[in-house]
Amino acid sequence: MTDAAPWRDDTGPTRDRSPEGNPGDYRTLTYEVDGRVARLTFNRPEQGNSITPDTPVELADAVERADLDPRVHVIVLSGRGKGFCGGYDLAASAERLLDGGPTGAAAQAGTVLDPLVQMTNHDPGQTWDPMIDYAMMSRFTRGFSSLLHANKPTVAKIHGFCVAGGTDIALHCDQIVIADDAKIGYPPTRVWGVPSAGLWAHRLGDQRAKRLLLTGDCLSGREAAEWGLAVEAAAPEELDERTEVLVQRIAAMPVNQLMMVKLALNSALLAQGVQNSQMISTVFDGISRHTREGYAFQQRAAETGFRQAVRERDAAPYDDFGSSTNKG
C-alpha cells in the first residue's frame, strides 16, 4: 500500500523480518497472505465445509500465524463451494450411534478425542460421563474462539449457508458480511443440540436470540443484517466486492490502532460473561444428546440415515429443510 500519510507506511521494528512464504498444508482450510490481508478459506466443499476434529486445531494455528505476521492487519474467513460451513460432520457418528465424536483425522488413542472413548461414553446402555463429553466439545469452541481473541480484526464472509456448528465459528468473528440470500441459524436446537459457542444472546440480545433458538429458525442474510447479526448483507454477486471494501478500509489502519480498538471493545463483550455462557452451553449441548428425544433422533438417524432424520426434524411445522430459508 502506498500512501503519503506517514502512519500508513510499513516501517517498524518487525517489518523487515516478515515471514516468507505460506504455512504448511492443512486438511480443512487454505491460508494465504495478500498484502495486508490473511485469507483463511475452508476447503472441504464436497462436504459442505463440515467441521472435523482437525478444524479447530487448524483454524487456531492459521489465526495465530496471521496474528504474528507483521504484514497482516486483518484476517478474513470464508468457505469454498456452495456455502460457508454446514456444521459438524455428524452423519457417520449419528448413523453409527456415536453421537459424541465428529468424524475426521485419527484422534489420540485413549484421550477424550479418541472415537472409541466417545463411542463408549455415548452408548445409551452405559453410564454417560458429561465431563468426557465436555472435555471433547470444549476443545472445538476453544479453537473457534481464536477468532475472537486474536489481536487483529477478523471478518467472516458468508455465502450459501452457515448453520449449526458453522455459526459457532462465524459468531466469533468481529465482523460478518453475508450474502442476502444466505441461510444462517441453529436448527439443531429442535433436537440433539445447543450452540456450544454461547454467543447468540451476546450478539443479538436476549429476546432475538430466544426467538431463534426456541424455534431453531434461521435467518436470511438480509434478515441477519436487519437484526444486527451481520454488519452488512450484499447481493450474492456483490459479496466479494463489498467484503473487500470493508477489509481494505480496516487494513489501512495501523496494526497497533486495530489492536487497541479490538481489545477495548472485547473487554465489554467479555464482561458480559461470554466464557461462562460457553461453559454452560457446551455442557447442555452434551446433555441434549442424552435425553429421551435425543436418543430417539439418534436411533432414527441410525435407521434411515442422518440426512433423512434432519429432513424429518425440519419438516412441519418448520418446513425449512435445505439450503434456503424459504422466507423470500
* Nearest alpha-carbon partner for 287 in 87, 49, 99, 75: 99
Q: What whole-number distance in Å separates Cα of residue 156 and Cα of residue 324?
A: 20
* Nearest alpha-carbon partner for 163 in 224, 207, 93, 208: 224
* CA torsion through residues 9, 10, 14, 17, sign: negative
What's the DSSP call for residue 79?
Answer: E
pTM exceeds 0.85:
yes
Q: Tell me phi and psi for residue 234, to 5 degrees.
A: -130, 155
* CA torsion through residues 95, 101, 102, 108, sign: negative
The SS3 call for residue 207 is helix
CB of 188 within 8 A of CB of 163? Answer: no
Q: What whole-number distance in Å separates Cα of residue 174 and Cα of residue 48?
A: 23
Q: Which three cell numbers stand for residue 66?
A: 496471521
The pLDDT, as a whole number, for residue 325 is: 73
The SS3 call for residue 92 is helix
Residue type, 292: R
The tens-digit pLDDT sequence of the chain (328 residues) is: 555 687 777 766 665 555 655 556 899 999 999 999 999 999 999 999 999 999 999 999 999 999 999 999 999 999 999 999 999 997 656 655 544 455 555 557 889 988 888 888 988 889 999 999 999 999 999 999 999 999 999 999 999 999 999 999 999 999 999 999 999 999 999 999 999 999 999 999 999 999 999 999 999 999 999 999 999 999 999 999 999 999 999 999 999 999 999 999 999 999 999 999 999 999 999 999 999 999 999 999 989 999 999 999 999 999 999 987 755 4
Q: What whole-number distance in Å separates Cα of residue 195 and Cα of residue 296?
A: 20
Q: What whole-number distance in Å separates Cα of residue 145 and Cα of residue 141?
A: 6
Domains of the chain: 18-313 (3.90.226.10)
CB of 189 within 8 A of CB of 216? Answer: yes
Residues 6+ apart with CB under 8 A from 122: 97, 98, 99, 100, 101, 128, 133, 289, 290
Q: Apex CA 116: angle with CA 110 and CA 118, to 5°?
A: 95
The pLDDT, as a whole number, for residue 99 is: 47
The SS3 call for residue 62 is helix
Helix/strand/coil (H/E/C) assignment for every residue in 234-296: ECHHHHHHHHHHHHHHHHCCCHHHHHHHHHHHHHHHHHCCHHHHHHHHHHHHHHHCCCHHHHH
* Nearest alpha-carbon partner for 123 in 293, 284, 281, 299: 299
CB-count burial class (<10 Å; 0-12, 13-18, 19+) for 208 = middle
Q: What whole-number distance in Å separates Cα of residue 78 and Cα of residue 147?
A: 13
Q: What whole-number distance in Å separates Cα of residue 250 and Cα of residue 258?
A: 8
The pLDDT, as a whole number, for residue 328 is: 42
> What interhelical angle do 54-68 and 130-144 show, nearest 10?
30
CB of 133 within 8 A of CB of 119? Answer: no
Q: What whole-number distance in Å separates Cα of residue 117 and Cα of residue 277?
A: 26
